[in-house]
Amino acid sequence: MNILLFITVLVVSFLVVRIGAIAFQLTGLEWSLAKFQALSCFTGTGFTTKEAELITNNPRRRRIASVIMVLGNAGFITMIATFANSLRPRAIVEKLDIPLLPFSIPNSALPWINLTITAVAIYIIYKFFTNTKVARRLTSVLRKHITRKKIIKSVSFEELTVVTGGYGVSKIEIREDNPVSNKTLLESSLRSHGIIVLAIIKAGKTMPNPSADTKIVSGDELVCFGNLDNIKNTICVVNN
């Protein structure tokens, strides 16, 4: 029972970190940074002052970080307690009540058996949650659920830098039903609307100064410069 509880808490911990990363991303953080911040909050490890300011200066991110920290502390305490208790002699046999073994297991060997089972479980869970396809699918499902339930309101139009005259830099996440989705930059005619694409973020990788034949697909993030209202009306008309 202790090992099963330990495995359950471990799985929940991976889910909490993933949900926390999605929540941070929905507030405007870049995905790789959102994942790092969620893991930092959950484990209680530190991060640089500049990155800490991204969390502490934003009320929504502070609330998210607080929840992750509380769950992280509770999770670690539970995992340590269940792990330590699972190593005591006959922990598995007593809990599972297995009377049909053809041989007896010495008490001295049981902690090592428990430790082996725990190590194998940790390895399997880690490989499962870090598998690229599984991670992407899980992230997509969780993000849709969080957005649909309006647990965290997505920042689909984030003003990064605002200059005079209503111009600035904005980052927009492209969805499947966006008017520029599945088009190249040339086909999107963004320049004719006075919008310059400074970079495209694809699967967490930034492509600065993309060429005209670069295709825009669902899930991409465009970092654009231009009139903010114009960008909103041209690119964000469907997202909003």
Query: Quick one: pLDDT at residue 226?
Result: 86
Quote the distance between the C-alpha of residue 13 and its chain's center: 12
Query: Quick one: pLDDT at residue 162?
Result: 43
Beta-bridge mates of residue 201: 206, 221
Check if the beta carbon of residue 96 is closer than 8 Å to that of residue 3: no
Query: Quick one: pLDDT at residue 17?
Result: 92
Positions in the chain whose pLDDT score sits under 70: 1-2, 46-51, 86-110, 150-166, 236-240
Query: Quick one: pLDDT at residue 164?
Result: 46
Cα 127 from Cα 145, distance rounded (Å): 24
Cα 19 from Cα 138, distance rounded (Å): 10
132-185 confidence digits (pLDDT tens): 888 888 888 888 887 777 666 555 444 444 444 567 788 888 888 888 999 999
Query: Quick one: pLDDT at residue 170?
Result: 83
Inter-CA distances, 164 with 172, 193, 203, 234, 235, Å: 21, 19, 32, 20, 21
CB-based burial of residue 30 (10 Å sphere; 0-12 exposed, 13-18 middle, 19+ buried)?
A: middle
Query: Quick one: pLDDT at residue 95?
Result: 47
Query: Quick one: pLDDT at residue 184?
Result: 93
Query: Quick one: pLDDT at residue 165?
Result: 57
Q: 208: which 2 tokens?
A: 């600065």
Cα angle 55, 61, 65; round to 5: 85
Closest CA to 193 of 216, 224, 158: 224
